[in-house]
Chains A and B, each alone.
Chain A
Amino acid sequence: MIRVTNLRVSYGTSRGGREVLHGIDLHVPRGQLVGLLGPNGSGKTTLIKALAGLLPAASGRIEIAGADIAKLSHRERALRLSCVMQHVEAPAGFSVRELVLMGRFAHTGMLAGYGPADHAAAEAALKDARALDLAERQAAELSGGEIQRVLLARALAQGRELLLLDEAVSALDMARRVEAYDLLATLNKGGSTVLSALHDLNLAALYCPRLVFLKAGRIALDGPTAEIFTETNLKDLYETDIRVAAHPVTGAPQAHLVPGASAAALG
């Protein structure tokens, strides 16, 4: 579904641009649910943006469903993948329903407006994202957690084949996070491919069978969660003391911080 070959991405257009991703190779087959982890500034958001076509590749190649995304039009790309980014503000004057309906833009012709199929897709997306109760509210008046649910709904209205998420649940409380990831897991069972960048190690370990760790613009670790989610690996990655214990219900590995560890690491 996603095939990335030797991807390099720089910020800044001139030669003096700062390279953020230094040669990423990544293959995500159809139907996987992958968690993208890594410390701040490791390049998670940059990778998601490059996959979504928001940042051009300095070199290398990104294929989505067999097509080179550099050669796809905006519309063709939007039909192949939907994306939820972090820090999104809703503009004033639009209802939640109108905002979600905009997810259908790529599905409509230039002359036709949003048809019954688009309204139905928006409705189903609102329902699945547990945002139906917000439908008639003004989008600009929503709380951070509510707007995240609405953006997820918009992504679902756009398409469920491939979902890219960048910190899509960071503004949600614990119960809402579980709700959102239960939804992602359900979608994944239904055939969606999901690549989700997040900070919450334990949420990733609970839901994602495969994890990809970025560090300083390179892939540091990539593999099944049970194999790579270890104390040694996490200590190396985050440069602090981390203990791993089994989840009391599912047995998934869960990371626990140790107070005072940063001072110990420095000393």
Chain B
Amino acid sequence: MTGKARDSRAPGRILRANTLWPQSLWIGIICAASLASAVIACGLGSFPSPPAETLRALVHALGQAIGLHMGQPVDPALSVVVVDIRLARVALAWLTGASLATAGCVFQGVLRNPLADAFTLGVSGGAAFGASVAIIFGLAGGAAISGLGGSTGILPLFALAGALLALAAVLALGRAGSGSMGNMRRETLVLAGIVVSTFLSALISLLKSLDEESVASIVFWIMGSFQGRGFEHVRLALPYMAVGLGLVLWRARELDLLALGEGQARLLGLDAGRSRLWLLIGASLLSGAAVAVSGVIGFVGLVVPHLLRMVIGAGHRTLLPASAGLGGLLLLWSDVLARSILPGGAELPVGVVTALIGGPFFCLLLGRNSQGGA
């Protein structure tokens, strides 16, 4: 064929560098912002300290943790507030946000449905139901209200079990509706998720009406909050989150293939059914662990992946880590707002803050998307 001008285009290496560079740049920016935000947020509250002072306390604590003497000793009172109280909370908020956003991204990819997340699949509902059972039967004790130490043992485990059971129920329903795991249709799966969520929320209402005394703690827990959470919560959730995150990052390229549809994915060599199952388990670990230590927090899993897809594209090798970072960042600052916006030291549930920010923001995204598609 004739030698056309396009043969003289720049070599692919340069073009590839140009397309990958801004994507890694975005992840770098999000990481840097997360670290800076953590330092600032650890200094904010009823006993404020300037970032430099906060950083010194954090570095000192880090030195102690790894057995090195780093920096000068700091005021022990400041250290307690900054490290034991605020850092634990900031870390937990970041981890929870990262887990929710990553899980949302995976659910959307696997279901090929931009509105899917832990809620659509009934995973959050399952976790909430598990927690409600723990509260009703007194297994969580009165501590569940304040979220203090006593709730660390049983309540999160119940929530996690509820999340995984709900996913299993949704998958079983989806399979029954479409013959086999391999060709489970995404509509069937979302419908199954809605059925299971509705059923579970009815069960939660039933539990609430059975035991009037627990209503307040169930309602508070379902709204989602980081009030009174400490490092023991971080320690409890971190293993599940790490395994879940590892699992989905390991299979990030498979999410790209699944986006093409099952037939195309299989032509390219992917065992779509098995891949989808592992990804769903990973995402359920992430969202189950998140709901377990923080209650039900909405919109993070929905808004963050959406926003990032518009900015950095749909390639999951960058989209997943970027979602984790931005999700963490969003929830970290939502929690700062939740604990500082009301006068007199009172706190809003952080779920209220994310819903107040996320709701209108999501409407905006939907509007922009439909304009772009028109």
B7 neighbours in A (Cβ, 8 Å): 127, 132
**With A13-B179, A133-B9 given, is the CB distance from A106 to B256 under 8 Å?**
no
Q: Does A92 contact B (CB under 8 A)?
A: yes
What is the bound-complex CA distance between A259 and B7, given in angstroms? 44
Interface flag for A258 (CB, 8 Å): no
Q: Mark A74-98, 1 if CB is under 8 A from B, else 0.
A: 1101110011010010111111011
B269 touches A75 (CB 8 A): yes
Q: State which size class the interface on A falls in.
A: 35 or more
Interface majority SS on B: helix, strand, loop or mixed?
helix
Verify if B260 is at the interface (C-beta below 8 Å from A): yes
Minimum CB–CB distance from B350 to chain A (whole Å) comes to 30
- Pair A52/B6 contact, Cβ less than 8 Å: no
A135 at the interface (CB under 8 A from B): yes
Q: Which of B157-165, B312-320, B322-330, B356-364 contacts A (4 or more CB under 8 A)?
A: B312-320
**Interface set, chain B 1-27, CB cutoff 8 A to A:** 1, 4, 6-7, 9, 12-13, 15-16, 18-19
Asked if B346 is at the interface (CB within 8 A of a chain A CB), the reply is no
Distance from B366 Cβ to chain A, minimum over Cβ atoms (Å): 15
**Alpha-carbon separation in the docked complex, A133 to B12 (Å):** 11
Across the interface, A136 reaches (CB within 8 A) one of B1, B19, B271, namely B19
Question: For residue A110, which residues in chain B have a CB less than 8 angstroms away from its CB?
Answer: 250
A residues near B253, Cβ cutoff 8 Å: 102, 105, 108, 113-114
Query: A91: which B residues are within 8 A, CB to CB?
Result: 112, 259-260, 314
Report chain A residues within 8 Å CB of B270: 74-75, 105
A127 to B259, CA, bound (A): 25
Contacts of A106 in B (CB 8 A): 268-269
Residue A257 CB within 8 A of the other chain:
no
Q: Closest CB-CB distance, B200 to chain A, in whole Å?
A: 31
Q: Which residues from A are CB-within-8-Å of B15?
A: 97, 135-136
B267 and A83: CB pair below 8 A? yes
Contacts of A98 in B (CB 8 A): 256, 313, 315
- Which B residues are in CB contact (< 8 Å) with A82? 267
CA distance A158 to B267 in the complex (A): 10
Interface centre among A83, A97, A102, A132 (most CB of B within 10 A): A102
B153 interface residue per 8 A CB criterion: no
Taking a contact as CB atoms closer than 8 A, the residue among B16, B266, B317 that contacts A113 in the complex is B317
Which residues 99-150 in A have Cβ within 8 Å of B in the complex? 102-103, 105-106, 108, 110-111, 113-114, 119, 122-123, 126-127, 130, 132-133, 135-136
Residues of A within 8 A of B88 (CB): none
Chain A residues positioned under 8 Å from B271 (CB to CB): 73-75
The answer to whether the Cβ of A63 comes within 8 Å of any Cβ in the partner chain is: no
User: Does A31 sit within 8 A of B, measured CB to CB?
Assistant: no
Closest partner residue, chain B, to A12 (CB atom): B179
B175 contacts partner chain A, Cβ-Cβ < 8 Å: no
A220 lies within 8 A of chain B by Cβ? no
Q: Could you say which residues of chain A place their CB within 8 Å of the CB of B250?
A: 110-111
- Residue in A closest to B112 when the chains form the complex, CB atoms: A91
Q: Flag if B259 contacts A52 (CB, 8 Å).
A: no
Is the beta-carbon distance between A93 and B263 smaller than 8 angstroms?
no
Q: Does B257 sit within 8 A of A, measured CB to CB?
A: yes
Do residues B314 and A102 form an inter-chain contact, with CB atoms below 8 A?
A: no
Nearest to B313 among chain A residues (CB) is A93
In the bound complex, do residue A92 and residue B267 qualify as a contact, i.e. CB atoms below 8 Å apart? Answer: no
Contact of B266 among A53, A103, A126, A179 (CB under 8 A): A53
B residues apposed to A, CB below 8 Å: 1, 4, 6-7, 9, 12-13, 15-16, 18-19, 112, 179-180, 250, 253, 256-257, 259-260, 263-264, 266-272, 309, 313-315, 317
**What are 11 A-B pairs with beta-carbon distances under 8 A?**
A74-B269, A75-B270, A78-B269, A85-B263, A91-B259, A92-B314, A94-B259, A102-B256, A132-B7, A136-B19, A182-B1
Beyond contacts A88-B264, A105-B269, A119-B16: 5 other A-B pairs, Cβ-Cβ < 8 A, are: A54-B267, A74-B272, A92-B314, A113-B253, A133-B9
